[in-house]
Every structure is written in C-alpha cells, then in structure tokens.
Structure 1
C-alpha cells in the first residue's frame, strides 16, 4: 500500500459534556461510599471518575482514515476501488438514514453526538454491504479524500 501525500484522518472523540458526566459518575460513586469513611469516599471519587473516563475515551477513540488506496473506518478496511459515489448528509438526512431509511446490511460507523455523516456506496459485487454510513464532523473533506484516493487508484491501475 502506497501512502498518499495528504491522508485524511478524523478521530470521533466524545463531546466535552461527556467528561463532565464522568466527573458526575465519580461523585455518585463517592456518595455511595460515604458510609464507609473518607478513604472509601476518595477511592470512589477517583475510581468512579477513572472508570467512566476510560469508557468515554474508548468509545470516542474510533478513527476514520483514508490512507493510500484504502478507507479505514474503525476496524473495517475497504479498498477505495470497491467504493462508489459519496453523499454528504445534513443533520436531518443523517437522522433519516440512521432510522427509517437504514438498511440492515449497511456498515454503520455511527456516533449519535455527531449530527452530520457521509454515505458511501459500495460497488463491489461480492460484498453484500450496500453502503457505508460514516458519522463525520467534516463529511465534505472525507468525501474529497475518498474521491482523490479513487482517482489515484484508477491512475495506478491504468499504468499497470
């Protein structure tokens, strides 16, 4: 795989409000442990906050990348030659594709706290997945990166 000059990378981090919720979880754990003394209270505060922060961090650590001739979305790796057109979804359209328009065979990299998304058609006849739904804060940039990678892949295939 040849690395592109300008790869696209986006990390779908959890929103800032989630970190306040982590702190609230720590306070809740501390309140639960108040009857057991000050040391238990402090352990509950630190432990509850840490566990909640690890959960929020791991959920928000998913990445979308376009590198070389592949789109990497979470654990999925798809060659751009197997992808078709892209459609940038505004918040209303993204909500519709998450709900009543969704196909159960589709690959959904969904983060509800990100209102916009990109829908990418899968053109590989051997793949039963009709499309990819990718939550993205910058779907226009992601679509442009996929298109550029597809063009590079076509040029390289023509040269061989």
Structure 2
C-alpha cells in the first residue's frame, strides 16, 4: 500500500506564499487626468522657446513625461498580503476588520456621498467607481470603518475574506 499523504511543504514555500500578495491594485489616475497633466509639456516648452527651439521641445517633453510618471508612481496601492490590508500608507490586520461589503453603481455613489462614515478612514479616488466598506471591529481604534475605492471591489472583498479565514 502506497502512502498518499502529500509531503510537508518546506518553510521556505510557506514564507513565499505569505510574501505573495492575495490582491494588489494601483489606483492610478484616469486617462483624462493623465492627458490633462500632459498639457504642462507645451507650457514648459513655451517658457524656454526664447532660448532655443530644439532645447525647449526637449525640456517640454521631459517635463510632460516626469509629471505623468509622477502621477502614476505616486498613486496609492491597495494590497492584501498575508494577514494585512494596506491602502496607501495605512495598514491594518484583517483580524481587526469585519465582513467586507463590495459596492458598485448607485450603492457605491451613496457610500462615497451621503452614506460616508465621518468617523471612518477613507481612500477614495475620483474616476474609480467601486467601493469596499470594511467595518473596524477593534475596540481600541477610534476609526469605525475603512472605505476604499477599487476598480474590482468584489475581488478586494474576497481577498480580505480569504486572509481572514487563513489565520
């Protein structure tokens, strides 16, 4: 009779799984915002056109690239890794969060507007339609909930649930 028990996973493999994010999303600006920011390129070129035409075009192009790259790289990242939720610079253990609620459409619009919890922590981006609301169940935390914009709120909520059950 053969042994059908799978071999134990090495500790390195378990650490690698914990290091891999369950969910990751960058809340980058919309194409309209990036296009609007790129308008600084011709403005910068006009400032330097009095010195040299070719130099002013190069400076304008460089300024436009730097502004757009800065907007993208400076965008907040939402990540669920191990048992921790990170939203921008803030982070919390998922054990301190209640059941996540993924909202889209009119429900998300209301959650960002009149339904927004004034005692909550918010990471809301314009142009991102979905919202995930996570109750904060930590009795020592003055924050009552986390409200986070997400392009895929159902996936973010599922990742938080998975991290909560993986404890």
Structure 2: gaps of 5 or more residues: 1-13
The equivalent position to 1:26 in structure 2, one of 26, 35, 41, is 41
Offset of residue 5 of structure 1: 7.0
Offset of residue 140 of structure 1: 0.5
Structure with the largest fraction of helix: 1
Does structure 1 retain, via aligned residues, the 8 Å contact 2:21–2:80? no
Aligned alpha-carbon RMSD (Å):
2.4
In our comparison, the structure showing a higher alpha carbon Rg is 2
Question: What do residues 110-149 of structure 1 show as CA deviations (whole Å, max 9, x unaligned)?
Answer: 1111111111111111111111111111111111111111
Superposition TM-score, scaled by structure 2 size: 0.78
Structure 1: gaps of 5 or more residues: 154-160
Offset of residue 17 of structure 1: 3.0
Superposition TM-score, scaled by structure 1 size: 0.81
Alignment partners' CA distance in 2, 1:37 and 1:91 = 51
Check 1:46–1:125 CA distance in 2 against 1; reply closer, same or farther (3 A cut): same
The equivalent position to 1:93 in structure 2, one of 107, 116, 129, is 107
Aligned length: 152
Offset of residue 87 of structure 1: 1.1
Task: Tell me which stretches of 4 or more aligned residues in structure 1 moved more than 3 Å.
Answer: 32-37
